[in-house]
Structure 1
Amino acid sequence: MSRLDQDAVLDRFARAVEDGHAALTDLDQHSGDGDFGDNLRAGVRQAVRLAEGRRRGFAALGEVFLDEVGGTSGPLLGLLFTEIARALGTVQSAGGDLAALTSGARDGLTAIQRVGEAREGDRTLVDALAPAVSALGHGYAAAATAAREGAERTADLTARHGRASYLGERARGRPDPGAVGVALLFWAVATVAEPDAAAPNPLDGV
């Protein structure tokens, strides 16, 4: 099995975020203050610049989102990216990237839940991340599918954390933008690592 090309993942994620900027903004206008699309796009753009010759994909994402991206989701995503970068950085042989990604994503989930105190069912990015972590043992595409399905389920949930919690039932009916952002990340990973698996883009039909 070949190594996971982190820079290719970053490029694929960046293109998906650019293409999905309007949809992500619209989702956040429904349940938040409307800045998620801008924050995610700005952070990913900066990570692409940082990755050019100085940082590999996930390390660049982690550095930028922890230090420079605001909003509720920015630092939380930074924790996820940083833990994934750390885990992938310890892999010494080909074939170990899936296990490393699983370990890093699991540690990222733990860190996010420690800081944000959200659990599955609270209508946050955890609703996409937790199923993805559980499904990674079955492959990259399985994790992408689980993340997308988890994000889709947030449309029927009442927010208990984050800005959407102030809206109560009014935030229902559309997926949580942070969860969709996480699903986009796992889609990018799957389309790079398993290009023949045909993982659907989580923004299709949103």
Structure 2
Amino acid sequence: MTGPLDQDAVLARFAEAVEAGHGTLTDLDQHSGDGDFGDNLRAGVRHAVALAGRGPLRGFGALGEVFLDEVGGTSGPLLGLLFSEIARALACGSADAAAFAAGARAGLTAIQRVGEAEEGDRTMVDALAPAVAALGRDGYAAAAAAALEGARRTAGLSARHGRASYLGERARGAADPGAVGVALLFHVVAGVAEPGAPLTDPVTATAPGS
């Protein structure tokens, strides 16, 4: 069992991870999109850190507000939905794994409602859906592993949504950056919630040429 999730620690570590992974996330998006995913994710997380520092919004609440209102690109508002649903669930519950799972599940539902993507479409849903399923059964580390595996699988998929869909088969060969971004989030959450759990960095694992 794990206690309440430390949202401040999650936001701080997510910011560090996004900074470190910016180059790879950009490379992945240059392969299948317009190359702005790394910049958008980094700018949004930096802004969320500043917003949380001023209060009263904390971790996921700050992320949700920034990504819904200020981050562009295809993925920004969709990530905003995920962050906002997690923030709502953590605020209404005990901020434990069950609450986080409920929020992530609601975020997945919202993303699929707006983006109309399913697993296999080569989007962030390919990482988020298996992570949500694993989280409900086995906890944070299992969810992080499932998200990573889902992100890895996108390298062999043809995109049916987003900018990558315009490239068809040419988008194959590199992981979807949105899926890697989701896997990175679950990686960070697992590291905060389950210290010492064996985790694999999804950015390193999906880097071109890895």
TM-score above 0.5, yes or no: yes
- Shorter-chain TM-score: what band? over 0.9
Instruction: Map 1:12-23 to 2 at 5 A.
Output: 12-23=13-24
SS of equivalent residue, structure 2 residue 173: coil
| Structure 1 gap segments, 5+ residues each | none
Deviation at 1:2, TM superposition (A): 2.3
Partner of 1:27: 28
Deviation at 1:54, TM superposition (A): 2.2
Instruction: Give per-residue Cα distances to partners, 1:136-188, cap 9 Å, x unaligned.
Output: 02010000000000000000000000000000000000000000000000001
Instruction: Map 1:39-188 to 2 at 5 A.
Output: 39-52=40-53, 53-92=55-94, 97-137=96-136, 138-188=138-188
Q: CA RMSD in A?
A: 0.8
Q: Could you tell me how far apart the structure 2 residues matched to 1:3 and 1:98 are?
A: 8
Q: Could you tell me how far apart the structure 1 residues matched to 2:56 and 2:24 are?
A: 31
Deviation at 1:204, TM superposition (A): 1.5
| Structure 2 gap segments, 5+ residues each | none
**Identity between Structure 1 and Structure 2 (%):** 76
Q: Could you tell me how far apart the structure 1 residues matched to 2:21 and 2:105 are?
A: 26
Q: Could you tell me how far apart the structure 1 residues matched to 2:12 and 2:184 are?
A: 12
Look up the equivalent residue of 2:31 and give its one-letter code: H
Look up the equivalent residue of 1:188 and give its one-letter code: V
Partner of 1:11: 12
Runs of 4+ in 1 over 4 A off after TM superposition: none
SS of equivalent residue, structure 2 residue 73: coil
TM (norm. structure 2) is 0.95
Q: Could you tell me how far apart the structure 2 residues matched to 1:21 and 1:4 are?
A: 25
Deviation at 1:91, TM superposition (A): 1.7
Q: Could you tell me how far apart the structure 2 residues matched to 1:135 and 1:199 are?
A: 15
Instruction: Give per-residue Cα distances to partners, 1:53-101, cap 9 Å, x unaligned.
Output: 3211000000000000000000000000000000000124xxx510111
Instruction: Give per-residue Cα distances to partners, 1:91-133, cap 9 Å, x unaligned.
Output: 24xxx51011111000000000000000000000000000000
